[in-house]
Structure 1
Amino acid sequence: MTSVMTALPAAVGAAAVALLFVETVHRVTLRLGRRSPLAADLARKLHRPFLISVTLLAVQQAIRIWAGDFPGRSGVMHALVLCCIAGFAWLVGAMLLVLEDMTLARWRTDVPDNRRRRRIKTQVVMLRRVTVAGIVVLTAGVMLMTFPAVRALGASVLGTAGLITVVAALAAQSTLGNMFAGMQLAFSDAIRVDDVVVVEQEWGRIEEITLTYVVVQVWDDRRLILPTSYFTTKPFQNWTRTGSAVLGTAEIDVDWSTPVEPVRGELQRVCESSELWDGRVCVLQITEATDGRVRLRALVSANDAAALWDLRCLVRERLVGWIWQHQRAALPRLRAEVEAVAPEPVRVGGHAGPGPSSDAARVFSGGLDGDTRGVVFGGPVPAASERKE
C-alpha cells in the first residue's frame, strides 16, 4: 500500500511537470509561428502527439524511479512502455508529415510550367504513403517484441521464414506487382499528378497515384480507376510528359475548286484574335484529295490540353461559318457523268481484247508463273490425262 501511495503522487507530479513543459514549448512555437510558416505548422500538428508522448514518458520514468514494488507493477510498466512506443511513433509520423506538407507548399502546382513541381508532388505523396505504412509496421513490430513469448517465438519462426515468404509472395503476386509498379511510376517520371493522358480511348487528367491504383479524371468528370501495373505494361499517351503545350487539328472537307489561301488567312485571323492560341503554330494544309473533295487540316497549338480542345472547336466553328458566308461554292459536291450510250451488237465467238479467256485475266492459272502460284496456294495442278477424264 505504501508503494502504491508513493507511485500515485509521483505519477501525478510527473504528469503535471510534463504538461507545464509541453505548454511552454507550445506557446514559444506559436510565437515563432508568426514569422515562420514551419513553426506554425509544427505548433498546430505536433502539439497533441508531443503532449501525449512526453506525459507518458514522464509518468513511466517517475514510477520506475520513485515507486517501489506494488501489485501489478510489471503490468503497469509494460502498458506504459507500449503507450510510449505508440506515442513516439505518432510524434515521428506527424513530424514527417509536416515536412512533406512544407515541401508540397513550397513546390505548388498551380503555376504555369509546373512539370517539375508535379513530379515532386507525385514523389512526395507516394513517400508519405510509404512512410506512414512503414511507421505503423515498425511500431507494431517493436511493441510485439516487448512480449517475452513473442521474442521466443521469433527464434522458431526464423526457420520457416523462407517458406512463408515464398507462399506469401505467390498469394500476393498481383498486389505486390501493383505496389512495385506504383513506386516505379513515382520515381521513373512516366506519369505525374495532373498529367494529361489518353488511356482506354479516354482523355483525362491524373488525379491521384497510390501504391495500387491510379485515378484518372476523365474530361466529363468521370473517374477511371486503373491498377498501377497498367501504366508499366501497356502503352498510353502522356500529353504533358515534357511540357504542357500541345498541338491539335481541325479538319474540314471542301470542293476541289476551293481557293485555299483566303481560308488560310481566315485561320490566321481566328488564331490571333483568340487568347487560347499560344502563338506557336497556326498552319492550314491540304492533307487529302480524294473522292471529289479535298480535306483542309488546320494545325494549331495551345498552352495545355484543355485550351487546345476549345481552340480546335473555335477554329472549326469559325472556318465553317466563314466558308458558308464567303465561299459557298466551295462546299463539297457530288459529280456524276450521264450520257446516252448505244447498245453494241453481240459478237459470237472471240473477244476484241483481253478478256476472261486471256492469260492477262488470270492469276493462278494460264502461264508458267500462274501455274506455279496455283500449286502453292491451291495444290498440285492435275495432269492433262486427268483433266480429260
Structure 2
Amino acid sequence: MKAIKALTNVTIIDGTGKEPVPNGVVVINEQGEIHSWGEMDEIDIPSDAEIRDYQGKTLMPGIVDTHVHFCFEPCADPFSVLTKESDARTGLKAASYALKTLLSGVTTVRDMGGKNYVDLDLRDSIHEGKHLGPRMFASGKILTMTGGHGWAIGEEIDGESEARKGARKQLKKGADLLKIMATGGVMTEGVEPGSPQLTKEEIKAAVEEAHKGGKKTATHAQGIRGIKNAIEAGIDSVEHGIFLDNDIIETMVEQEVYLVPTLSAPYWISEKGREAGIPEHAVKKSDAIIEDHVSNFKKAYEAGVNIALGTDAGTPFNEHGKNSFELELMVKHGMDPLEAIKTATYMGAELLGISDKVGQIAPGLYADLLIIDGDPVADIEDIEKIHSIYKMGREIKPEELTIAESV
C-alpha cells in the first residue's frame, strides 16, 4: 500500500488560473489521490504522513498535452520514416517517447494519429503497468479522404457511408476519440493547408458515430472553409486553426469549441528549414502560414476561445519530452503565464472530459504533480526546471530518467 505523503513548503499553482498559494502543502492519500491542500497553517497533516519538504519550489498539476504523435520520430521527415519501418520498430520507439514525455512533466496525453493501432497497444500497455508513460487517450487511424492529408497512415474514406464505417471501425478497435481531417496540411506532399478536404456531410457522419458512443472528436483543420465545415458538423476541438476569421472565432466561443493551436509544429519546421533536411514542400508551406498562425492564435485568445495545450510532438524536430516549449510560445505571443499553465492543465483535462480526475489541485483528484525549481509565473521558462514528478502519487525515480536518455 502507498504511504501517505505530505509535500510541504511549496508555492502551489492549482491549474485553474487563480493566483498561486504560498507556503502550501499537498497531502496525498494511500490511493494516490489528493486528500487535502492549502496553506500549511490551515491543513492538518496526518501524523503518519511521510513529509517531503520542497522549500522554495513550485508545485502544479501534471501537464496535459492534447496533441502528440508517439509513433512519429521527430526527425526531418517523420512520415517517410514511419511508412518505411516495421510496426514493431515503431512500437519500440513510441514506448521510449512516452517515457521521455512523462519525464518532462506531462502526465496525460491525447495521441492524435499513429500507425496500424500501435498507439492503442501502447495506451493499453501503459494502463496495465507494463510500460511507464503518461496516461494516454488514443485516436487510432485518422479519417481522411482518399489521397488526403495523412493518407499514408490513415483510414481513407469517401462519402457519408464510408465516413460512418470508418468511424465505427476506429471505435470497434477501441479508439478513445476520432480525429478527422477537414483540410490539407503541411507535411503531406501535394495538398494545401488551407484547402478543404472531407466535406461537412462526411465529417458530420463521423461525428455522429463518435457522439453516439460517448466519444469526442477532433479535426485537423487549417483553412477557413474546412474549419467552418467541421464546426457546423459538431466537432469538439479544432487542431491548429491556422486561418480563423471573426465569424469562426465567435462561433467557437458560443459553442465552446476548443482550439488546440500546436504553435510548436510550424515553428520548428521554419526554424530548422531545408538545411536540416526537412522536405522542401513542408518548409514552403510552413513559412507561408506561420505568421497567420500566430496572429489568429492571439485573436482567439483575446476573444475568449477555450484553448488547450497541444504540441504536435513528433513533427519535424518537435521533440518528445520538450513539450513545455509550447507554453513558452504561448506566452511569447501574448498569453498570461497563469493562463498558459491553465491551458496545459485544467483546460486540457476539460477537453478530454477528465477534469474530475486530473488537471488541477483539488481533493479527490489523482496526485499527478510537478515540483519545479523556480517560478513559472514569473518566468515561464522555469517550467523546464523539473525537480520531481508524481503520477497518481508515485514519484518517478531518477533511474527511470537514465533509461529514457539511453534510448
Q: What is the TM-score normalised by the length of structure 1? A: 0.16
Q: What is the TM-score normalised by the length of structure 2? A: 0.16
Structure richer in strand, relative to its length: 2
If you compute each CA radius of gyration, which structure gives the higher value, 1 or 2? 1
Structure richer in helix, relative to its length: 1
